[in-house]
Structure 1
Amino acid sequence: MAETTPPRTPIIGISLKMYFSPSRTASYISSFAPIASAASALGVSTFVIPDFLSAASCAHTLNSVSTPNPSAPTGVGAQDCFWEEEGAFTGEISPRHLAELGIRFVELGHAERRRIFSESDADVARKTAAAVKNSIIPVICVGEVDRDEDNIPSAVAFVADQIRAAVADIPTDAQIILAYEPVWAIGQPVPAPTSYINAVCSGLRSVLDAELGRKESARIIYGGSAGPGLFAELDPEAVDGLFIGRFGHDVKNFEIMVKEIAAKKYA
């Protein structure tokens, strides 16, 4: 008999990057909160990653939202953190301080951070360790730079190396989320082909399960121009959810994707 509950709670999140003002973010969160509660009832966890100016107020709102399913909560993330908890690091954000504000997730290693600020795998690893130390779930962004749909093993190998580096200094049972975002698909009109996403994520799932012992502690979500209709074509055994951007600026689209994930993961 097939399982009626997936081994990992499906999850969908959105990063607002630097698109929304504080007032627009507050309005978005007001509309998002009831969707998050309904998602929990469907068994889907959710999160929003606003800019730093809005993170505290968003956390205050979402952390008080009723989530009928305790295993599918909602929460707020930060768009980055530093690898030290305190000190003379002007402009940086302490993971300890984020945790004090009720921040539950932190996005690390996004392609924009790697490209614009020259962040390395070693930087991501140090930040990941700092987040886990402070009981924050790292959302680790990984993905190959060059598009070559005929060479899936190369993509899997490239991303697997990013993953190995990021998790090298954290316990095997520490909860992590891997946001697989092919760099070449970010900001494009359409996502990567679903057959390609399925194949790469299946390969990464094998690395996580067999090599790294993270079958239950690591979830994989797909990002890179993800929108409504995509998850219906993805392999729920390999992909646990979505990490969305501009296609989720309309909360109605976010709600659609929640329902698509619930329907596929619990089919």
Structure 2
Amino acid sequence: MRVLLTNDDGIQATGLHAMRRALLERVPGIELAVIAPDSNRSASARSITTRQPLAVDEVRFADGERGFATDGTPVDCVRFAVLGLVGEPPELIVSGINHGSNLGDDVTYSGTVAAAFEGALLGIPAIAVSQQAEHGRTDFRPRGRGWAYEDFAAGARFVAELVAAIDGLPLGERTVLNVNVPAGEVRGVRVCRLGRRIYRDELKLESVAPNGRKHYRIYGAEPGYHEEPGTDFEAVADSMIAVTPLGFDLNHERALAELGRVDLQAAFARSIERQELAHEG
């Protein structure tokens, strides 16, 4: 099986290498390629690089294996693999292990999840993997302590088993498995849905430059979440690995049906009529 391993924390991130070792050790016959950003690209979401060429460097890891580092985004990394940088396109994308959880609404900001979504968009099965930063916290930003290899061991082993069994998993087309691993002892695994975030961002003036230019901080407060049963937040709070299937269909079917009953053509005709009257005036 040809697998691409990528992330948004960068080519030297501890979580990436924990996942890399687990895949090599536990998935028979794996052909593993590693393409990752050359530095941290957290919260880059589905951004891509279109206005300049992308630099790529071959990197040798401590165990003698190699990978590729690029100054692009996580989505760019997936495109590199699909377009032939490492030979044949991958048959599976694994993105992570991210340093910090990607729960609930956070998935819309996450570069880790975005790389997996890019695989799904291209018809390639994909798994996004994230590790809770600290027990009891559901924030997506690690702070306050280092990351040892052992922090990622349970999640890396579990995802390697998922990869080994991927052909037998009931994954639909354009589906991503979003995996969040709790910090500390892991009690099991739970399939669950995305929960809902409570963001507490505030506008704070940080400084004023001599020229009068102001610098504000608008992110930083730790978010909360709605306590609802069956969510990824609940699973991680219960020390369970949360596995959430995500789809790529952004259509809002109910709104589509409701809009179909609105005479939008009449609104368009009125806009033309008012434009013509404005010109006459």
So what's the TM-score if we normalise by structure 1? Answer: 0.30
Q: Whose strand proportion is higher, 1 or 2?
A: 2
Structure with larger Rg: 2
- Higher share in helix: 1
State TM-score, norm by structure 2: 0.29
